[in-house]
Structures are given as structure tokens and as C-alpha cells.
Structure 1
Amino acid sequence: MTISKLFPILTWGRDYSRQTLENDLLAAVIVTIMLIPQSLAYALLAGLPAQVGLYASIAPLVIYALFGTSRALAVGPVAVASLMTAAAVGELAAQGTPEYLGAAIALAFLSGLMLVAMGALRLGFLANFLSHPVISGFVTASGLIIAASQLRHILGVPGGGHNLVELAGSIWANIGAINLPTVVIGVFATAFLFWSRKALKPLLVARGARPRLADLLTKAAPVALVAATTLATWALGLAGAGVAIVGEIPSGLPRPTLPPLDLALWMQISTPALLISIVGYVETISVAQTLAAKRRQRIDPDQELIALGAANIGAAASGGFPVTGGFSRSVVNFEAGAQTPAAGAFTAVGIAAAAVFLTPLLHYLPKATLAATIIVAVLSLVDLGALARSFRYSRGDFAAMLATILVTLGTGVESGILAGVGLSIFLHLYRSSRPHFAVVGQVPGTEHFRNVNRHEVVVSPTIYSIRFDESLFFANARFIEDRINAAVAANPAIRHVVLVCPAVNFIDLSALESLEAVNARLKEAGIKLHLSEVKGPVMDRLQRSHFLQELGGQVFLTQYDAICALDEGCARRAFAARRGGV
């Protein structure tokens, strides 16, 4: 690996211009305004002190600017990773304790090590085991759990839980303790955020504001809400009326931190760290590829593993928790005109300034305001309509999505993602073990062959031509063997079996042994096995075995060649077709 490949900044940095600097600075201002309340809110969601959210939004952005290949991706705390952090660490320590914070830091560090190792070994393909239905179902269920977990802050009641059942039960048990001022703040904050997202920019444009300024003011709406509710809570003395506030937030930059060197702790968080790594990488790479395609840029998936891993190690070293590429902030960064990852580094400077100068002003910030910020952010992730779409298209994908949603809602995020991955792998193996196949015949007057059940074709009673639309390997070897044996047993007139192979990209040893067994049985019955349209790499492998020497029939370049060699009627049909066309 070259230095420029490991540090992409050496590539894009050579062409960095004043105009690029101006675009990156403007994008950084907009993303900083958006990220301040989000960072505080996601720390609350993870069960950590508010300032930890700011810490997790400084070093990771600078590190990603050095290692990342996406020009617009913005890394930092996100809702799903924060929820997974709370679920993992909550099993090990009580919130508010040094042990809880230490476990969260260790989780970020271990997740970072895993991602860097995966990148060095070029294991980005492992994320493919999380199918889109599983990811969609997991994100939808996680969004519902996150929103439900914040209702207690909106209502001002105690409670908690790791799944929807526990959360609903705890809220119901404390429903009599609702705090009215908290409800007013929470409902107002939620309604304002929903309104500002949809209606504020059109209103400002209609009042004469320039679109760029209207967009900036819309992005700043959450900051205005934070300022307004904080000022109102202080002025009205609402903390004394039972409104939960953030309290004292230490000002200053994060100090270098080492994760707890506790082997037992690392063993306990290894599975959650792996899940956070994979889920975070899938989200990161999806966002990065989408934004890169819009500008005809490219990213390096394996380098993104290293960049994201280094960002998480940086988060741990600065007292933060797991981070990943966020969809909403990356889109905002892109639309604001960010040209290079330097925009993220400038955003880190803005967050650092907020950590130094603004934190004393947030003492009276209501937790209900942060809860509203989280609810509005995560509800955009919920897509229950995907269930109906997947049901219409694929029952298997629908089952994977529904199972992921139900298990996640019923038992928690870790069980949900594991169930979804397990079901996806099972469905893949099941489908592969029963590949689509077609008995094919000749389309009259042509050299084309199609499925006898879909087209009007000509078939010879003595030739059985079957096409398997899948590579042949251990999972489907027995199925293929059974189909050929059953067809021969049902039709005594068959004298030739032609295995049509245009879709076969690979034949493993198990499938080869099955073909050898089929060939031997057919020989004993006086039937010849033939192959047609075999791809070059597959043929190369077959030539390294004894199969071709023992093959009862021949290997034909095309299926038309096979039928013409084995069926005299083929030549007569071709002659008649040519004569009819003259």
C-alpha cells in the first residue's frame, strides 16, 4: 500500500484552492450548528455525560480527514450506534459511574481496532452478510426503540429498558408521575423541530430571504430551540418545578484517555464491538458511495474501514464513544458544498470552540429538548412501508425484515441484528440449495433455446436439456443430482442429457463428485451426459480433473451445436427455416 493510498489527504491536498477552502468553511459552519445539539443528544441516548458527545465529535473528524476517501462524509455520534452503546455498556455498569464511561471508551477503542484490522485484511465484503432487508428492518426497529426511550424525558418520568416491551412497561408503571412543565417543553420542542424541518425554509424564502440564507437559518433552528428552552428554564425556575436539566457541563477540550486495560471487560464487549463495527461500516459505506456517485467520485471501501477504525480509536483516545458516518449530517455537509474531508476538520474546530466557550451556558438545558432532537432525527429512519414493498417482491426478504424488526423490538438491538444476519444467511443457503432451473427447447427457426414452460419451443423426445441458473457447489449438488435422476427415471425415451451451463461460474469439488455420480449412473443406463456453453474458467478446472476423460458424452461450444449433433431433426428444421426465408 502506497503512502498516498493510506493518506488520501496527500492526493486531494495537492489541488486545494482558496475557493475549495471557502466552500469547506461554509459547510463546516452549517454542520457545526447542526452537530452541537445532536452531539449532546446522542450522548444522552448513550447514557453518557453531555460533554462526551462533544468529545466524540472532535478528534474523529480530524482523523477521518487524514484517512478517509469520501469528500463529503461527516463522522460522529449517530443514533443507532449510541443505542447499541447504551445496550452493551448498560449490562456492565450503572449510568453515571466511571466504569460506565470506561466501558464506552473501551467499546470505541475495540471497535476501532476491529475496523482497522478488517481494512488491512481487505475484509470489507463481510458487511455483505447484512442484507438490505435486515439493515432496513434493524434501523426501523432501532428508530422505534430510540423514540420510545426518549418518551420518559418528554413526560418527565423515570424509566428505562433495552427493548420496546421493557420501555412501554416502565413508562406505564410511572405514568402517574408525569411532570406538566416537562411535557410542555417536550411537546413544544418536538412540534417546533418537525415544523422547522418542513416549513421554515419555504416561509423564509417567501418572506424574501435568499435560499442559501434560509437553508442556514433552518439548520440553525435546533440551536435556537436549545437557546430558547434553556433561557426559559432558567428564567422561570423550572428546574425547581421538576424539569430535568443537563446540569453542569465541564468546559474545555478533552484530555488524552486510555481505555481500561481489563481483559475480562474486553471479552464481554467483543461481540457488541463487532456488531457496532459492521453496522457502522454498512451505514458509512452506503452514505459515502451515494454521495460520491452524485459527483462522479469514487471511494475505497477497504480504506474506509481503516479511516472509520482510526476515527473510533481517536474517539476513545479523547474520551468519546463509538462513531460512524451519519446520514443526515453527511447529506447536509454535501448540500452545503463541502469539497474535501477538510470540512470535517473545520467542523471539529467549531465543536472544540463550543466545548470551551458554550458549555457553561447549557447548565439549564432541559433534557426534554435533547429528547425531542433525538425523536425528530430518528423517526426519519423508520420505514414501515418497506415491509409492504418487500412482501410484494420477495416473501423471503419480507420474513428476514419482519423477524429483524420483531426480535429487535422484543429483545433488544444485539439479538435483533444477530437474528437478522442468521436468517439472511439461512435464506441464502436455502435459495442456493434449490436453484432455479429450466428444461429448454429450441425456438423454431432460430439458434436460441428457452424454457419449455414459458415459450413455444421444439424438443426432441430423446434429449433432455436442462439449464441451472446458479453456480454448482456443495449446497445444491444433491438437488441437481436428484433433478436429473428423476427426469431420466420418468422418461424412458431419453438417450442424451445435456447440462446447459451459461450461468455456471464455478463448480466446487462436491458438485464435481455429484456430476461424476450422475455420469456413472447414466452410463449404466445407456444414456450419455453432455455439457454445453461451459465458461472458460469452469472448463479450466474441469480439465484438471478426471471428469472429462470419464464423461460419456461431449462438451459443446453452444447448445445449438449440441442439438444439431445429437438430433437429426435439428438439421432438417434449420434447412426448412432457411428455405422458408428465401
Structure 2
Amino acid sequence: MKQSFARYLPCLTWASRYDRGAAVRDSLAALIVTLMLIPQSLAYAMLAGLPPVTGLYASILPLVAYTLFGTSRTLAVGPVAVVSLMTAAALGPLFATGSAEYAGAALLLALLSGVVLLSMALLRLGFLANFLSHPVISGFVSASGMLIALGQLEHILGIAVEGENALELLPGLIVGLPHTHPPTLAIGASSLLLLFLVRSRLGNWLERRGVSTRAASNLTRIGPVIALLLATAVVGGLQLADNGVRVVGEVPRGLPSFQLPVLDPALLLQLLPAAVLISLVGFVESVSVAQTLAAKRRQRIEPNRELVALGSANVAAALTGGLPVTGGFSRSIVNFDAGAQTPLAGALTAMGIAITVLFFTPLFRNLPHAVLAATIIVAVLSLVDLAALRRTWRYSRQDAAAMAATMLGVLLVGVESGILLGVGLSLLLFLWRTSLPHIAVVGQLPGSEHFRNIERFSVVQSPKVLSIRVDESLYFPNARYLEDRVAELVGQRPQAEHLVLMCPGVNLIDASALESLEAIATRLHAAGVQLHLSEVKGPVMDRLRRAEFLDHFGGQVFLSQYQALLALDPQTTRHALERQRAPG
């Protein structure tokens, strides 16, 4: 019974073994993540085009929902930069930023994302995230980081710039540069400098003064809080808000109330594509981080249960005035490094955010937008990895092309178009690559029962038997290519009496490929050549047995290529086996 409940509530698995030591470590991790999450939540809400308090609301109940349903012990859920950017990209063309309609649409988008994730969990569709290849995700994240940083420069300079991509933002920044607001620039630039110094130098400085590595690392995480407090104090003390420095203003105090988003059918249809993309991107990011951290502790996560947890978190965000959420990379790393033992650290973090919303929001009144922009810029630039494009190019130019297309699409067109371009190009390249499978003529290695490519090894070939190895599954894009390649190779060897198709790399033969095999068998028979198969995998053999092909193609299916050659040309095969066994 307990195991049955634990299947639906993974929290029961760790709750039964929870002890004081885990509570202490979870509490410490929650404190550090709370201090990190407060400025990030405010900043990412601003990035999404929403009131800053929205980010705090999205960091309370969603974290509790993940605590109940999540399978990762250290994943930290909440607003993240990339999803906030996608939210702004989806809502910006529909409503005026800051309007009530915009905020209502953000709630509906979070609800839709939650429903999409829960539906994927119900249908066990977690595999759909595999269509977002690593190069595409890497290119998308890097380009999004650059686009986000570019978009935040207007808050650093104190100017207004409109645009959704680099082609629109860059000219606006250049035109607005002469109108830079000096006090805002001073706050933004000093905040950037402080945050970069804290991130790059503070840890080493503390370690040289005897602070432990873990403590030094944790102290560097509160850099955004220090910048936030200093900038707020300066703006309030010098009354810079009256001199044109944009500030957050009054932030409502108190916990969010439960509210169901307005279910407008037309708007639902408009937002559904964006919700699907946000769900897929958020799921891939969360699962990647969760699996990486779980592996370090020899733990495991369940992707389909993660769909439930993330879906529940987004539904919770929609019901409490938030925005779409997912697992954050940097916060999860901090949570892990701080020693979090269970998802309860997330619930304790939610408690810290709730206390902040209840008692400390008046402190944010003089919080300048410039310091929030600096927080975003420093956070997202750590996600940019341009060297990955060079590394991928050296290994696979096709994957590098997909990565580059994604990056250019995000930067020059927009986030949704960029990721769709990357996914589409990846699928097209996959179809093109598999439509031309590697097909090798193989021969017997002297003194062994192994067969290798005649172009790479010195082998013995049978004059009577043509051995061909196929290194790809056979399906509709490459079925005709197999026919043409077999015909070409048989034409080059008029003395061949048998053709053995060696299939160790074939994991699938679909209906189109089966028809091609039948056509190959018929044409070979007409030319006086018999088709045989060898090393066919069990699942493929099971499917072939359900068809009529094995009954009438006239050949045999051999367990190994050696057995095939031993049966069809025993003299050559035995001679090759004995060649290097002779003394000397």
C-alpha cells in the first residue's frame, strides 16, 4: 500500500527516513537558495514583462508542489531566464506589457504549460523531449542568453528600446545611446562590476583568508542580494527616483490569493503553441539538470514523474498569480552544493519567499530596474557557450549547422522561430543522414571468424559470395538507396552466386524496407544470385516472421556471417581461417 502511494507521491519515499541531519542541511540550502531566488524572481518577472512581485508569487506554491511530486532531491524550481524570455515573446505581440490583459494571459500560459506537461505524463510522452537535440538546446540557450543580455541594456542605460530580436534591439540601443541617463548608468554599471567581481574573485579571496571552499562558494551566491541592498539604499538615500531612475515602486504585501485564469477559448488556441514549446524546453532543462545532479549521488529520477511535478508546479503558479516555471540550472547547482538532501529544501525556500512577501516587500520600493537588469545579465551570460559551436563543428558539421541555425534564428528572428528552425533542421539532417546509410563490402580477417570492411582491413573475400554489411536501420527514407547500392555492387561482381546481407546494425525494418528486400530478392534471383541474411537481431527477426518474406525469398538466415560463409563457400572460408594459424 505504501509503495502504491509513493508511486503518486514520491515525497513519501524520503519522508519516512527523514532525520535531524537532513533537516539541518535542507534548512541551510533553503536559506542560501532563498537569498539567491529573491533577486532572481524579481528580475525574471521583469524580463517576462510582469510586475516584479509576480516572480515572488511564482516561487511559493510551485515549489511546494514540486516537493510533493518531484523525484529529484536537489532540483530547484521557479522562474528561469529562458522561460521568462519565451513568456515575453509569446505575450508581447498580443498585449501591452504591464497591462491587466498581459498578466492574465501569463496566468493562462502557465496553466496551459501545466496541462501540457500533465498530459504528456498521462500519455507517457516524455520521449518527445528527445526531439530537442543537445546541439539545438545548447544553441538556443546560448543565443537566448545573448538576446536577454542585449535586451536588458536599456535598463542599464536608462533608455527605452522596443524589439524582440537583435536586428530590432541593436539599432534602438544605438539611437538611444545619446539619451543615456547618467544616474541609471552609474547604478547599472556599478552593479554589473560588483556582481562580476563577486562571482569571479570573492570565492578565491575568501579561501585565501581561511574560509572553507564550500562556505566561500555559498557566500558568493548572495552577491545579487548585496547589490540589491546597496542599490536600494543609494536610490533611497539620494532620492534618485525623483531624478529619473526607474524603480520597482510599491510591491503588494501579503500572500497571493487563489484565482483561476480567465479561460478564453480564442486566446487558449493562440497560446497553445507557445505553451508546448515552453513545456518542452522547461522539461528538457529540468531533467538534464536533475539527472546530472542525481548521478553525482548515485540517485535516479523518473522523467514521467518529473512531468507530473513540473506540470503541478505550473498549475500552482497559474492559480497563485505567477508565471511559467521550471527547474533552474544555477539554483539547482547551488542547492546541491549547499547540501540539500531532499525536495523539502524547496518547500523551506518557498517558506522564505512567503515570509519575504508578507513582511519585507516595502524594502523593494526604491529597488532600481538597473540592478535587476544587472542581475539578469550576469546570470544569463554564464549560460552562453560559444565555444560549444566550435567543438561541435569539429565533431559533426551537421549538428553544428543545426546549432548555428538555432542561434541565428533566436538572435535574428525570435525565440520561438529559432527553436523551431533548429528542431526542423535537426530532423531534416537526421532524415538525410539516415537516407544514405553506410553500406560496406566485408571480408574475412585471416585467422579469425570476424568480418571487416574491405577498404579498411586486409581480408579474404569469397569469389562466390558477396558479403554486404548495413550499418543503419532500414526504413522508408533509405529503402530505395539500399536497392540501388545492392544493384551497383552485384553489377561489379558478375561471378557472385550468393549475396549475404549482414545486419548487426539494423534495429528496424519497416514496411517500405521490407518491400525493398522483396524487390532485391526478386531481381537477384533473376540474375542468378541468391539473397541471404545474417546476424539479424531478435526483435527484427520477430517482425520478419510475421511477414511472408522468409517463406518465399529462397535464402537462409544465418546466426553469424562466419556460418553463412562456411555454408556457402566452405573451402575459401576454412582456408582464410587457417592462413595465420600455420607455424611461423
Settle same-fold status: TM greater than 0.5: yes
* Matched residue, 1:509: 511
The equivalences for 1:272-287 within 5 A come to: 272-287=274-289
Secondary structure of 2:554's counterpart equals: coil
Q: Which residue pairs with 1:334 in the alignment?
A: 336
Corresponding residue to 1:555 among 522, 533, 557? 557
When the two chains are superposed, the root-mean-square deviation of aligned CA atoms in Å is 1.4
Q: Alpha-carbon deviation of 1:171?
A: 1.3
- Superposed CA deviations along residues 126-146 of structure 1, whole A, max 9, x for unmatched, are 000000010001001100100
Letter paired with 2:82: V
Q: Distance in 1 between matches of 2:580 and 2:100?
A: 86
The 1:217–1:561 alpha-carbon spacing in structure 2 relative to 1, beyond 3 Å, is closer
Q: After the TM superposition, which of the residue ranges 344-353 and 566-575 deviates more from structure 2?
A: 566-575
Amino acid across the alignment from 2:275: A
Q: Secondary structure at the residue paired with 2:399?
A: helix
Deviations 1:391-439 (A, max 9, x none): 1111100110011111111110000011011011111111111111211
**1:466 corresponds to which residue?**
468
Residue 193 of structure 2 corresponds to which residue in structure 1?
A: 191
1:491 equivalent among 486, 490, 493: 493
Q: CA deviation at 1:462?
A: 2.7
Give the match's secondary structure for 2:146. Answer: helix
C-alpha separation in 2, matches of 1:533 and 1:271? 44
1:201 deviates by: 2.0
Aligned partner (choices 7, 19, 38) of residue 9 of structure 2: 7
Deviation, structure 1 residue 233: 0.7
Change (3 A) 1:361 1:557: same
State the number of aligned residues.
Answer: 582
Q: 1:212 to 1:566 in 2, by over 3 A?
A: closer
What residue number does 1:270 align with?
A: 272
TM-fit CA distance, 1:226:
0.7
SS of the residue aligned with 1:319? coil
1:476 to 462, 478, 496: 478
| 1:182-581 superposed matches below 5 A | 182-574=184-576, 576-577=578-579, 580-581=582-583
Residues 6-45 of structure 1: CA deviation (Å, up to 9, x unaligned):
1001111100111111110110000000000000000110
Alpha carbons 2:131, 2:423 under 8 Å: kept: yes
Check whether the contact 2:446–2:578 (CA below 8 A) recurs between aligned residues: no
Q: How much identity, in percent, do the aligned residues show?
A: 60
- CA displacement at 1:568 relative to structure 2: 4.1
SS in 1 for 2:312: helix
Aligned to 1:145: 147
Per-residue deviation, 1:475: 1.8
Runs of 5+ unmatched residues, structure 2: none
Moved more, 320-329 or 227-236: 227-236
* One-letter amino acid matched to 1:538: V
Question: Are residues 362 and 526 of structure 1, via their aligned partners in 2, closer, same or farther at CA, if it must alter by over 3 Å?
Answer: same
Cα distance change on mapping 1:216 and 1:536 into 2, 3 Å? closer
Aligned to 2:254, the other structure's residue is in SS state coil
2:54 maps to: 52
| Amino acid of the structure 1 residue aligned with 2:314 | N
Q: 1:30 aligns with which of 29, 32, 51?
A: 32
| Structure-1 residue corresponding to 2:65 | 63
Question: Which shows bigger deviation, 38-47 or 553-562?
Answer: 553-562
State whether residues 449 and 577 of structure 2, in contact with CA within 8 Å, keep that contact through their aligned partners in structure 1.
no
Match of 1:136 in 2: 138
CA distance in 2 between counterparts of 1:385 and 1:142 reads: 16
Instruction: Show structure 1 runs of 5+ residues with no match.
Output: none
Contact (CA 8 Å) 2:154, 2:173: kept in 1 or not? yes
The answer to whether the 8 Å contact 2:462/2:573 transfers is no
Tell me by how many angstroms 1:186 deviates.
0.7
Q: Distance in 2 between matches of 1:170 and 1:485?
A: 61
Q: CA deviation at 1:572?
A: 4.5
Q: 1:455 to 1:156 in 2, by over 3 A?
A: same
Closer, same or farther: CA 338–89 of 1 in aligned 2, 3 Å: same
For residues 203 and 538 of structure 2, the distance between their equivalents in structure 1, rounded to whole angstroms, comes to: 59
SS of residue matched to 2:547? coil
Q: 1: CA distance between counterparts of 2:294 and 2:212?
A: 27
CA separation in 1, counterparts of 2:477 and 2:510? 10
CA distance in 1, matches of 2:168, 2:139: 20
- Distance (Å, rounded) in 2 between the aligned partners of 1:261 and 1:235: 45
SS in 2 for 1:174: helix
Question: Offset at 1:218?
Answer: 2.0
Distance in 2 between residues matched to 1:259 and 1:88, nearest whole Å = 17
Query: Is residue 78 of structure 1 aligned with residue 66 of structure 2?
Result: no
Inter-partner Cα distance in structure 2 for 1:90 and 1:220: 32
**C-alpha distance 522-188 of structure 1, shift in aligned 2 (>3 A):** same
Greater mean deviation of Cα atoms: 438-447 or 279-288: 438-447
